[in-house]
Amino acid sequence: MCDLADSPAVRRLTDWDASTLESLAAEYETPLYVIDLDRVAENYARFSTAFPDAEVMYAAKAHTGKAVLETILETGGDIECAAWGELQRSIDAGADPNTLQYTAVNPPDHDLDYATDLATDHPGLTITIGAIDTLERLADRGYDGRIAIRVNPGIGTGHHEKVATGADAKFGIPYERVPDVADRVRDGFDLVGLHAHAGSGVLTDGIEEHCRAIERVGAMARRVGDLEFVDVGGGFGVPYREDEKPLDLERTAEMVRDAVGEIDATLKLEPGRYVVADAGVILTEVNTIKEAPDTTVVGVDASLATMIRPAMFGSYHPMLNVSVPEREPHPVTVGGPVCTSADVFAHDRPIARPEREDVIAIGNAGSYGYELASQFHSQPRPGEVALEDGGHRIVRRRETLDDVTRVEQ
């Protein structure tokens, strides 16, 4: 376990060493992802310490880079996966397949084939279902192993309507149907748990509503009975804006335990964003300065293909001119080279007045950053550098155009 004495609950962008980031940009070119593996370990350890009696699984979808998964495993953590590729990447990183949990959401045939084949030799694998169809398809494949039921609690929480999964019919078995589905599972499978995930990016102000969803899951667990675990998912947020306070983790842990109530089962949680968000930044170089009537446009080489969260969710990410952080701030609009008005990271954001070839850091890019990167406009995806033990190493090389076109016939 990491020593948390010097590990703050939140890492602001200004806490990163600007000169180190600028030197990494010079050495590896931009746009560039940087992930601090020591911070990943610290965040996971802090979360686990707050829930000492629970099993804390890292939600791989937040960042599936091999170096991150290896770091989680080295801290003693387990991994929750939402697709077959995440299962395989977790195994490649050293995970015991018997410890993995696969949360199937409308799974393609290939995913179920992979999972059931994997369970043949590794019966400890748990498959979470969110539809009766999935149960029938598992039975058709001869699977009779460990099953968890995903409960739809009817309450969605989080930073955006697109992540409020707890009230979305796409996710989980409708609440009142769960007991009947549990009976059906027990007829042909090993029912080991209930699972739910209310939403993502929840901070202290939203934790009460989040716990209302967890309360319903705890009540259903007592109603169904005889379970190995109750998994209340993740969704625990980090402050993206400079004036937002970090999650009061100790208070949150107390509220979650109270919400679940007395259960004769292990409590499971699946933090993803909390573990990796503030451990990552994007470095991007300024290439264009344009004075427009209503704003100063700053063009950079990162784009929505590098990180789509601002375009998809309207997300705020802190920004810092690491080349000259002491220069007088100036409100600017920062956008990339993609041909759409959605390709903007910030409007009228006060930043130390950028000039061409300055390097700007975009903070809190460790979660759902590289995971959602694309090759739009035939842009090769960026490289990624990991910081660890006072040094750094390349953990993902920058793609080339050959990588972009390699699959074409």
229 contact partners, CB below 8 Å, separation of at least 6: 55, 148, 192, 193, 194, 265, 266, 267, 268
Structure tokens at 256: 């979650």
Residue 275: both structure tokens together: 């573990």
The verdict on whether 2 is a catalytic residue reads no
* Bridge partners for 268 per DSSP: 55, 231
Out of 2, 81, 211, 339, pick the active-site residue.
339
Beta bridge partners of 362: 282, 319
Residues 199 and 158: their CA atoms lie apart, in Å, by 5
Which residue in 264, 177, 272 sits closest to 234, CA to CA? 272
Please state, as a whole number, how many other Cβ atoms lie within 10 Å of the Cβ of residue 162. 13
Detail the residues annotated as belonging to a binding site for substrate. 273, 309, 368
Distance CA 344, CA 337 (A): 9
Binding residues for pyridoxal 5'-phosphate: 235, 270-273, 368
SS (H, E, C) the chain: CCCCCCCCCCCCHHHCCHHHHHHHHHHHCCCEEEEEHHHHHHHHHHHHHHCCCCEEEEEHHHCCCHHHHHHHHHCCCEEEECCHHHHHHHHHCCCCHHHCEEECCCCCHHHHHHHHHHHHHCCCCEEEECCHHHHHHHHHCCCCCEEEEEEECCCCEECCHHHCHHHCCCCCEEHHHHHHHHHHHHHHCEEEEEECCCEECECHHHHHHHHHHHHHHHHHHHHHCCCCEEECCCCECCCCCCCCCCCCHHHHHHHHHHHHCCCCCEEEECCCHHHHHHHEEEEEEEEEEEECCCCEEEEECCCCCCCCHHHHHCCCCCEEECCCCCCCEEEEEEECCCCCCCCEEEEEEEEECCCCCCEEEECCCCCCCHHHCCCHHHCCCCEEEEEECCEEEEEECCCCHHHHHCCCC
Contact 164, 135 (CB under 8 A): no
User: What is the set of active-site residues?
Assistant: 339
